[in-house]
Structure 1
């Protein structure tokens, strides 16, 4: 990939080192197999990449002719057996001390309380459930007449399904402040807050994100912190645990030691179940009130839309007009932030994702944002906190464009009469 000048070790050396770490455990916390970062060469198509993802490795970044994957020794062996060249990747930006410029869970709760106290007429906090370790899962509602459930289009923003993706929490903080501080002074923000009910879930994996921050270095932790019966490996990948085409298509792992472990059953992760129940609870009079949504992740600077479990554009549950709406709105937002817009499965197949569930189960037009950086060279999952203000502000216009179309997303392709009455 452009701009990356890694030092590489051979596959045998990497695997031996990782196996040694697996004996010691990860940061001394558990005897589960260690994972490490690898570069894979020879995967040039979505089908190639899906084959690699099916081993249980997490595909962190897709380059022109290489992949970066987070994988266990077993994953590495499986990828190598498929015929791909695999080498351990020594990032030019190695894991460092957790950056105090990033917002911890306690600090996030403080920000939420501060925003609500400063803007009680348009912002309200609710606790929608608890994480596995008992932390509150918080929702922030922003709307005029915030205490009233009005008949207005609703928009959902979900943050930090994956623990190591801390920039997504900063995106939530930025949105809360943008939509409240701008109310009454910015005409566009004021009109949107007056005409929408906006829900921000600023951290849906607080156990994982707190664990990731708690070591002497970042711990590169992705999953939640839920034990798995019969295994020393902890955690479920929340974004493989959703109850639409769960485990259907090789886009997740059935092994608890995998970083993409989908859990023993759909919604087995309490955090997923809480958020899913919240979304289902927004069905009023038989109609889902949430019309549009964004699930924020890092990294690679992409805007993705469903489906992820199939390469098909038009398929069961997705008509041509519905696909065209996602595509047009994704491209419209990408014009604002410079991200690359594409269908999720253009990268590789995933199953059990929130992206597919929000559309396939709830008919919510939705997108995944893979935020800054574009590559590992700029920090991967751990860019310096000095970029937070710039990279969250970069998404302002893109998010406002989604809010613009929340009244009828199909308006972007001229099909409002057919879909919105």
Structure 2
């Protein structure tokens, strides 16, 4: 009930200040105009704010229900991304907001290159460099890697899946693992995670026993960049915009973009875990899978059903930041719910905790942070019965770079997940082995 009260209050506030206040200025001059033109002060990029005194999931869920994204959770504080109008709304609800430093200083025009990272973060890969690195790895390891363009983004960029297996050209009867990256535009470290995995599997195959066995016994799908348009927009000026969503238009609104990780088709929009307002960071889209990138990946996963059986058994969706290992459900705070038994939940938790013991992240059910709906993990399990996890990568706080950690940490923080990824791949033939029930669930 509390969340509904907050939502109703949010609707009243929105009517008072105009429905179409912006998270950011329209991406193109040709975008349709809102019904009520917002004040110039509201046409600005989001900033981060610290909110003190929030310690319970219900309190954090109420904050998230205003449409801001919750970026960081501590014992008695949260960090949110909000525009000026959203910050006013949160203050009107009684919260005290402390502005946090912007992600990067303004750079002189001469130092910035369009659609590229700031010179101080040149170790990150832009879209052209991502494409070139993928192609280089596939060309260097054709016996175990195959690149497949599975669809296009809204702006027409390729969405790529790289299959890694000892017989990459064949569809073998082996457990499959899905590794997805970069649903949220500003989370560039996740793309570096994907490129690291391609290098590790390619370079260590035949040399490292665990990697070799993983490649021989599994089919591994690496999807390095689910949101190439949003990633390009985030760095389009040569600096950082703190953009989260994709870039598709929203009919009737000047403000573009859908939060891809609120757009998946399991319990979409069910539970005050996403926003109905296109300006918001957590806008769920007009309907489930309305984001073309989500539809591409969902179709790809559905296409892995062979003979009525889903071949993908486990996966990790990489995000930043907070150093967490999360499992479903996000739409409910109950440990079990329709479609998830106690054994399912226990297997999720056992494998998740073991991976977290390896990489040093904190393990928990997603809704222990706050309620979300329409997330990829909920869809993977609720719709496809895939054990899907989220890794929230480095850092733990805004103070260490937030969404934009320096490029010096890329190698350290991607390699930190090597063992955890291999653990999931090794467990993918029978996740219930983790709770001692292999014979009950996995015996032929």
Q: What TM-score results when the alignment is normalised by the length of structure 2?
A: 0.87
How many positions carry a matched residue from both structures? 401
Compared with structure 1, are the counterparts of its residues 23 and 62 closer, same or farther at alpha carbon in structure 2 (3 Å cutoff)?
Answer: closer
Q: 3-state SS of the aligned residue for 2:384?
A: coil
CA distance in 1, matches of 2:106, 2:127: 21
Tell me the equivalent position of 1:179: 201
Which residue, 296, 312, 315 being the options, matches 1:293?
315
Provide the aligned C-alpha RMSD in A.
1.9
- Match in the other structure for 1:25: 25
Gaps of 5+ in 1: 1-20
Aligned pairs (5 A) from 1:61-210: 61-90=72-101, 98=118, 99-210=121-232
Question: How far apart are the structure 2 equivalents of 1:388 and 1:24?
Answer: 28
1:224/1:235 contact within 8 Å kept: yes
Q: What is the Cα deviation at residue 214 of structure 1?
A: 1.6
Structure 2 residue matching 1:165: 3-state secondary structure = coil
Compute the displacement of 1:105 (Å).
Answer: 1.1
The Cα of 1:85 is off from its aligned counterpart by 1.8
Q: Is the 8 A contact 2:26 2:255 kept in 1?
A: no
Deviation at 1:88, TM superposition (A): 2.3
1:225 matched residue in structure 2: 247
- What pairs up with 1:390-401 in 2 under 5 angstroms? 390-401=412-423
Alignment of 1:3-42 (within 5 A): 25=25, 33-34=43-44, 35-42=46-53
Structure 2 residue runs of 5 or longer lacking an equivalent are: 1-20, 34-41, 108-116
Cα distance change of structure 1 residues 112 and 92 upon mapping to structure 2, 3 Å threshold = closer
Aligned to 2:429: 407
Superposition map of 1:268-417 within 5 A: 268-417=290-439
SS in 2 for 1:239: helix
Deviation at 1:263, TM superposition (A): 0.4
1:235 pairs with 257, 260, 264, which one?
A: 257
Are 1:56 and 2:56 counterparts?
Answer: no
- CA offsets, 1:221-274, max 9 Å, x none? 110010110111110000000000101111110000001100000000000000
State whether residues 92 and 377 of structure 1, in contact with CA within 8 Å, keep that contact through their aligned partners in structure 2: no
Instruction: Write the distance in 2 (CA, Å) between the matches of 1:323 and 1:24.
Output: 39
Take 1:33 and 1:306, find their aligned partners in 2: how far apart are those partners? 35
What secondary structure does 1:87 align onto? strand
CA contact (8 A) 2:180 2:225 kept: yes
Q: What's the counterpart of residue 13 of structure 1?
A: none
Q: 1:208 to 1:378 in 2, by over 3 A?
A: same
Quickly say closer, same or farther: Cα 1:419–1:409, change in 2 above 3 A.
same
State whether residues 157 and 294 of structure 1, in contact with CA within 8 Å, keep that contact through their aligned partners in structure 2: yes
Q: Tell me the distance in 2 between the aligned counterparts of 1:57 and 1:410.
A: 37
Q: Tell me the CA shift for residue 219 of structure 1.
A: 1.0
For 1:90, what is the secondary structure of its paired residue? Answer: coil
2:24 touches 2:43 (CA, 8 Å); kept in 1? no
Q: Structure 2 vs 1, CA of residues 70 and 287 (structure 1 numbering), >3 Å: closer, same or farther?
A: same
Deviates more, 1:95-104 or 1:359-368: 95-104
Residues 275 and 92 of structure 1: CA distance in aligned 2, closer, same or farther (over 3 Å): closer
Between the aligned partners of 2:426 and 2:88, the Cα distance in structure 1 is 48
CA contact (8 A) 1:27 1:219 kept: no
For 1:24 and 1:387, locate their aligned partners in 2 and report how far apart those are by CA, in whole Å: 29
Determine if contact 1:314/1:320 at 8 Å carries over to the other structure. yes
1:46 equivalent to 2:57? Answer yes
